[in-house]
Amino acid sequence: MAERVLVIGSGGREHALAWKLAQSPHVQQVLVAPGNAGTASCGKISNSAVNVSNHTILAQYCKDHNVALVVVGPEVPLAAGIVDDLTAAGVPCFGPSAKAAQLEASKSFSKSFMDRYGISTARWSSFTDPQEACSYIQGADFPALVVKASGLAAGKGVIVAKDKEEACQAVLDIMKDKAFGAAGDTVVVEELLEGEEVSCLCFSDGSTVAAMPPAQDHKRLLDGDKGPNTGGMGAYCPTPQVSGEMLQQIKTTVLQKTVDGMKEDGIPYVGVLYAGLMLTQQGPKVLEFNCRFGDPECQVSNHPPPK
Ligand code: AMP
Ligand code: GLY
């Protein structure tokens, strides 16, 4: 029987998800909440005005409208426990639990996790006291540093510093001036990694992983790789930077290892796991995890992986 699916979010990513879901013979209608102009009325797809931040209202809406599956696009509702609450109310929902979403929502959580399970990442330390962070920066033997708000900051909470002074200033901006609000109560200071940046995503059921083709997004705002970092100005996929062999290596040493570690910790990871990686001279290293599809990567991930 054809079913009704509800997609949560309002970006190009959610339009791409709705577009693909609508092609399934199992899907009769796709609702997008809140959606955007592109999803307002487009074949089987239409927008819904349901309140997505009140999970009790949302669960009731899903029951009243026979929604068979909820697919969550962005990280904020995932970190707020939308999957936990809808699942508890008996509404099937695709994505990680709030605890599992900490892989993205707390950089100090994900960095400690990676260290415990031997997943390759930049050397780092986290701080709740700005003075201690600045002393660490002054004593660090890395040539260049990156300062990050630990919490969710819509991809903007990362400052790549050109020297130690700028790194300390970044700590003060984040911790004292609250440049990213409560997301900056804890900061992560890490070494700058150099190389090509790629996005390797997979689906996971909590035990196994199925890798998607590797993508690369255009990070900087302006042409010629200039301007501030953004959440992504566009993307292409598959990227020739990642061979079939390297994807296999990333799948084993990063994606599967992460899903295994989360299972071991009693926080099974179900949903899309996105590893942002720097291809350094010492091999791929994890820059960050995201607990969802990338936007714009989701809009291009429809090619077969390289051989
Ligand atoms: P994050 O939210 O941690 O992925 O950081 C956002 C962006 O900042 C990444 O996509 C990278 O472009 C850049 N970045 C983060 N950490 C590092 C690092 N250690 N070295 C170089 N660039 C980084
Ligand atoms: N393209 C980066 C992201 O979705 O976070």
Cis check for the bond before 34: say yes or no (omega within 30 of 0): yes
Q: Which of 184, 181, 190 has the alpha carbon at shortest distance from 161? A: 190
Please tell me if the CB atom of residue 179 comes closer than 6 angstroms to any atom of ligand 1.
no
DSSP-derived letter for residue 121 is B
Residues with Cβ < 8 Å from 233, sequence gap 6 or more?
217, 218, 219, 220, 221, 296
Inter-CA distances, 68 with 71, 121, 274, 279, Å: 10, 39, 25, 40
Give the Cα separation of 270 and 204 in Å (integer).
5
Torsion, Cα of 71, 77, 79, 85 (10° steps): -70
Mutate to test the pocket of ligand 1, among 148, 192, 287 (most ligand atoms within 8 A of CB): 287
Mutate to test the pocket of ligand 2, among 273, 274, 277, 300 (most ligand atoms within 8 A of CB): 274
Give the Cα separation of 239 and 243 in Å (integer).
8
Who lines ligand 2 at CB under 6 A? Answer: 155, 217, 231-232, 290, 294-295, 297
> pLDDT, tens digit, for every residue of 100-139?
999 999 999 999 999 999 999 999 999 998 899 999 999 9
Please tell me if the CB atom of residue 158 comes closer than 6 angstroms to any atom of ligand 1.
yes
Give the Cα separation of 81 and 244 in Å (integer).
35
> pLDDT, tens digit, for every residue of 40-86?
988 999 999 999 999 999 999 999 999 999 999 999 999 999 999 99
CA-nearest residue for atom 4, ligand 1, is: 288
> pLDDT, tens digit, for every residue of 182-221?
888 889 999 999 999 999 999 999 999 999 999 999 888 8
- Predicted TM-score (pTM) of this structure: 0.93
- Domains of the chain in sequence order: 3-95 (3.40.50.20), 123-191 (3.30.1490.20), 193-300 (3.30.470.20)
4 membership: H or E segment, kind and range: strand 3-9
Q: Which of 288, 291, 277 has the alpha carbon at shortest distance from 242? A: 277
Residue-averaged pLDDT of the chain: 93
CA-nearest residue for atom 3, ligand 2, is: 294
Please tell me if the CB atom of residue 147 comes closer than 6 angstroms to any atom of ligand 1.
no
